[in-house]
Amino acid sequence: MNYKNIKTFFFDLDGTVWNWRDFNPQMRHIIEKLEKKHKKVFFLTNNTILSQKGYARKFSRMGLQIAEEQIITAGIVAAKYFQSKGIDNVYALGEQGLVEDLSAHGITVTDNAKTVLVSYDRNFNYAKLKTACDLIKRGAVLYTTGRETSWIVGVEKYPAVGPILAAVEAATKKEAINVGKPSAIMKQRILDDIFLFPEDCLLVGDELSDVEFGSSCGFRTAVVLTGIVDEYAVKKAQGILKPDTIIRDINEITRNL
């Protein structure tokens, strides 16, 4: 791939930029170099443990100054989507980061709402499942921030939002509307908020759903092998799941800028 022609880079976070605690090798340097070359750099994540503000603080603690507007969380996408629909309260299975993103856009979290939003929640339990089911039974619409089955912290693999969502979907026989990657709702958010020409954009991710998302946006796509997907699965991928390139050495991005 000719990275010189890429004007806007979208990086997935978990598995691509970092493994939560530490940057993946060279990533910090690559991001710094792209910014120095006046490339536009954005970060996309379905992980709602932190809010947009929280991720900006995390980057800062890790030594990179990244503006909040460069970080697109599924929580922000959900909040803006609900706002556009006139929804001002939701029942959310999620953590502080999600609540922060929602409340930053005037969305209150309550246990009596016509909207249920499922997200990653380390305090998920039976009572929360029951509340979500009761609301959906009474007509609430079910949304999710993603369908990932797992994510990696250090060398450990953890269940992600997918298994929690599966519980809610199994109990209610309803299928959630996804607002995170690779959904059309997240795509629309990006196209509305960021001035870009899709053919000048590259999405770098560690899952085939990242590739699917990038393809659906009309971006070029690249997969790194530092996260969830292995080379065998990438090579088997077809159609919109097939990336334009596999990045084995991340330095290739900035080598010829």
User: Site residues (CB under 5 A) for Mg ion?
Assistant: 12, 14-15, 206
CA distance 229 to 168: 26
Smallest distance, Mg ion to C-beta of residue 65, A: 22
CA distance 205 to 162: 18
Question: CB–CB of 223/209 below 8 Å?
Answer: no
Smallest distance, Mg ion to C-beta of residue 16, A: 5
Smallest distance, Mg ion to C-beta of residue 232, A: 18
Q: In what order do the strands lie in the sheet with 141-144?
A: 108-109, 89-93, 115-118, 141-144, 177-178
Strand partners, 152: 157
Smallest distance, Mg ion to C-beta of residue 182, A: 12
Q: Exposed, middle or buried, 138 (CB in 10 Å: 0-12/13-18/19+)? A: exposed
Q: Which residue is nearest to Mg ion (CB)?
A: 15
> Is 128 or 220 the residue whose CB approaches Mg ion more closely?
220
> At 71, which amino acid appears?
I
> Is 14 or 212 the residue whose CB approaches Mg ion more closely?
14
Q: 179: which 2 tokens?
A: 């607002």
Smallest distance, Mg ion to C-beta of residue 3, A: 20
> Is 117 or 152 the residue whose CB approaches Mg ion more closely?
152
CA distance 190 to 64: 23
> Is 12 or 100 the residue whose CB approaches Mg ion more closely?
12
Smallest distance, Mg ion to C-beta of residue 160, A: 10
Smallest distance, Mg ion to C-beta of residue 59, A: 16
CA distance 191 to 180: 14
Question: CB–CB of 66/39 below 8 Å?
Answer: no
> Is 115 or 209 the residue whose CB approaches Mg ion more closely?
209
> Is 15 or 94 the residue whose CB approaches Mg ion more closely?
15
> Is 100 or 206 the residue whose CB approaches Mg ion more closely?
206
Q: At residue 178, what are phi and psi to the nearest 5 degrees?
A: -85, 135
Question: CB–CB of 45/154 below 8 Å?
Answer: no
> At 140, which amino acid appears?
A
**Residue 220, helix vs strand vs coil:** strand
Strand partners, 93: 118
